Amino acid sequence: MKAAVVYSLEQGPVYADFAMPQAQSGQQIVQVSAAAISHVVKSRASGQHYSYDGTLPFIAGVDGTGVTRDGQRVWFAFPPSPWGSMAEFVPVAIDSCVALPDDLDDVTAAAMANPGMSAWAALVDRAGFRPGETVLINGATGSAGQLAVQIARHLGAKKIVATGRNMTVLNGLGADVAIALTADAAALEQQLAEQAAGRIDVVVDYLWGNVAQTLLTSLATHASGTEPIRYVQVGAQAGQDITLAGALLRASPIQLMGSGIGSLSFPRLVAATGAMLQAAAEGGFRIAHTTAPLSDVARAWPLDDSKHRTVFTVADNSL
């Protein structure tokens, strides 16, 4: 079969032949329709993600959409190494497949599944979000952040604060408050302090780095009351490390946690994605994306960015 194969961690995947998979016990073969690039996919393809097991060569992609042998449209995830979702066929554990809603097409589902999973899991599974709470999305202008705003609204957030560097995008998200991270340090600290003093219940952070350090300091210094502020670290687009005085956490009700592969089990991540996809069909969630045939992977791979998710479509070959 044809697939997007990673032969070298220093280069992106190329369109090449790869062995046809055979289903093992508890698995099924899915004929792939669409699979998207995500931060996890790119990180694994370069050998930098903590879930990469060192196997070479391997097929890129951790999730996608497709059709089972009995004709059911599904979203699937976590194929075993060396298989990946960017191929004509993929072996997947039966319990790692979720039926797609009729009102959600394969490409849109593939585009939003990974970022939507991260947002839903962070809000629901990790933070235990409750309707009527205030949510701050740190880094809301990327695909995942934009979906997080939509999901928080769908789940009944009373107030949504969104931060980011692109004010045009921020102002179009429908958040209640938009904070530009391009403001000078004093202005940014003042805006964050005002929001912290007015009560923030949950933070979903896609940035980390210096931005998170400033935000955590503002929350610890200016938040009122003793109700927990559940701070969920999801991504690290602004930096992998921060410097934070331990006294700030001891003197504040901040609960700091992460959300991702490892902090949640695969079954919980699959369930979170299934719930998100159903909500997407009901709530009309949107995600900016572009499509390309899988055969064009070498050209399209380096052009991908976090604001327009790249979705590869696979030619229709019969099971």
Per-residue pLDDT tens for 20-69?
Answer: 999 999 999 999 999 999 888 898 888 777 777 778 999 999 999 999 99
Alpha-carbon gap, residue 270 to 275, rounded angstroms: 9
Per-residue confidence band for 318, with pLDDT thresholds at 50, 70 and 90: low
Q: What is the pLDDT of residues 94-114, one digit of tens each?
A: 999 999 999 999 999 999 999
Give the model's pLDDT for residue 143.
86
Q: Which superfamily does 2-114+265-313 belong to? A: Medium-chain alcohol dehydrogenases, catalytic domain (3.90.180.10)
Alpha-carbon gap, residue 276 to 155, rounded angstroms: 10
The residue-averaged pLDDT of 280-309 equals 90
Per-residue confidence band for 125, with pLDDT thresholds at 50, 70 and 90: very high
Alpha-carbon gap, residue 57 to 4, rounded angstroms: 10
- 127-258 topology per CATH: Rossmann fold (3.40.50)
| Maximum Cα–Cα distance across the chain | 61
Q: What is the pLDDT of residues 147-200, one digit of tens each?
A: 999 999 999 999 999 999 988 988 899 999 999 998 888 899 999 999 999 999
Give the model's pLDDT for residue 55.
83
Residue 189: burial class (beta carbons within 10 Å; 0-12, 13-18, 19+): middle
The residue-averaged pLDDT of 300-317 equals 83
Q: What is the pLDDT of residues 219-259, one digit of tens each?
A: 999 987 788 999 999 987 878 888 888 888 888 899 999 89
260: left (phi over 0), alpha (psi -120 to 50) or beta: left
Q: Two tokens at 13?
A: 């995947």
Give the model's pLDDT for residue 79.
95
Residue 177: burial class (beta carbons within 10 Å; 0-12, 13-18, 19+): middle
Nearest to 28 by CA among 71, 86, 82: 71
* Whether residue 6 has pLDDT greater than 90: yes
Nearest to 122 by CA among 289, 302, 15, 272: 272
In this prediction the pTM is 0.88
Give the model's pLDDT for residue 316.
66
* Whether residue 317 has pLDDT greater than 60: no
Average pLDDT over all residues of the chain? 92
Q: How big is the chain, counted in residues? A: 319
Nearest to 112 by CA among 318, 289, 294, 266: 289
The residue-averaged pLDDT of 288-295 equals 94
CA-to-CA separations, 300 to 8, 289, 294, 304, 310, in angstroms, rounded = 17, 13, 9, 7, 8
What are the boundaries of each domain within the chain?
Answer: 2-114+265-313, 127-258
**Percent above pLDDT 90 for the chain:** 70
Give the model's pLDDT for residue 319.
54
Alpha-carbon gap, residue 77 to 283, rounded angstroms: 23
Alpha-carbon gap, residue 129 to 155, rounded angstroms: 8
Give the model's pLDDT for residue 96.
95
